[in-house]
């Protein structure tokens, strides 16, 4: 599910070319470097735009969604366990925030849940407003609990459907995920376009635009245009 079939890559690029054509811009496909060079990580397409060569890399959001689901299994289990400890002594409302280096393996779910729960529950104390793991096990980057109110007495993960906050957090995580995996892709091109395809969108094109503005300084300099393709069509998320 994480990888895209060749015909799917072509389909996504065709959607972007049609979008650009309707906007009055002519783009011609020159070749498919990834099919020609199997030794290094070549871009998916090379196109001609106004007399210059531009690299195009097509990225599937499906792999991020798979990461999101695997991470959700751990966070939901931690949240459920910590909820019991917050309710009984009425410790107020807490937010659980976990950040990850990569997707956890399914066989590690129970071990990670026990480790996080055991350490963070020691920080759930009257008069405390923050608890965090000192040395979280890989692939966890950090795990924190922050007290946000006197009640209701519960622990709620950031991944819970809190309007606005939830979407913004997932967009930022996706952008970091994308940059981490694609930052050096197409470095031989002064101009690279990133085309993101979402089969099952976690967020919309407008959300991605806002997120890229927040993270603009982290976007690689040669990423000149970023397109987002989902069921709603094509959104130019960064120009």
Query: pLDDT in tens for each of the 239 residues of the chain?
Result: 345 555 789 999 999 999 999 999 999 999 999 888 666 779 999 999 999 999 999 988 765 556 667 788 898 899 888 888 877 677 888 888 888 877 788 889 999 999 999 999 988 888 888 999 999 999 898 899 888 887 777 787 654 333 344 456 778 888 988 998 899 989 999 999 999 998 766 678 888 899 999 989 999 999 999 999 987 789 999 98
Q: Which pLDDT does position 165 carry in this prediction? A: 40
Q: What is the CATH number of domain 6-60+166-238?
A: 3.40.1350
Q: Please give the DSSP secondary-structure letter assigned to residue 122.
A: T
Neighbours of 192 (CB within 10 A): 22
Neighbours of 55 (CB within 10 A): 23
Inter-helix orientation angle 205-214/165-182, to 10°: 70
Q: Which pLDDT does position 160 carry in this prediction? A: 39
Q: Which pLDDT does position 167 carry in this prediction? A: 54
Q: Give start-end residues of each CATH 3.40.1350 domain in the chain.
A: 6-60+166-238
Q: Which residue has the tokens 């480790």?
A: 115
Q: How far is the C-alpha of 129 from the C-alpha of 51, rounded, in Å? A: 59
Residue 52, beta-bridge partner list: 49
Q: Is 51 left (phi over 0), alpha (psi -120 to 50) or beta?
A: left
């Amino acid at each position: 599910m994480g990888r895209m079939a060749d015909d799917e890559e072509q389909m996504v690029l065709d959607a972007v070319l049609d979008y650009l054509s309707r906007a009055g811009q002519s783009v011609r496909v020159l070749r498919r470097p990834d099919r020609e060079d199997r030794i290094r990580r070549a871009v998916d397409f090379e196109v001609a735009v106004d007399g210059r060569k531009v690299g195009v890399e097509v990225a599937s959001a499906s792999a991020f969604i798979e990461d999101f689901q695997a991470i959700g299994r751990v966070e939901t289990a931690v949240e459920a366990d910590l909820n019991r400890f917050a309710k009984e002594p009425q410790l107020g409302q807490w937010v659980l925030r976990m950040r990850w280096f990569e997707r956890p393996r399914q066989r590690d779910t129970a071990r990670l849940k026990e480790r996080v729960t055991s350490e963070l529950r020691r920080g759930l104390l009257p008069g405390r407003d923050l608890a965090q793991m000192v040395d979280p096990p890989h692939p966890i980057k950090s795990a924190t609990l922050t007290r946000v109110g006197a009640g209701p007495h519960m622990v709620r993960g950031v991944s819970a459907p809190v309007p606005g906050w939830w979407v913004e957090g997932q967009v930022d995580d996706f952008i970091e995920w994308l940059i981490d995996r694609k930052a050096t892709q197409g470095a031989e091109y002064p101009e690279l376009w990133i085309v993101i395809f979402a089969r099952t969108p976690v967020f919309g094109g407008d959300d991605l635009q806002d997120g890229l503005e927040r993270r603009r300084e982290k976007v690689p300099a040669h990423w000149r245009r970023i397109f987002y393709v989902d069921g709603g069509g094509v959104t130019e998320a960064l120009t």
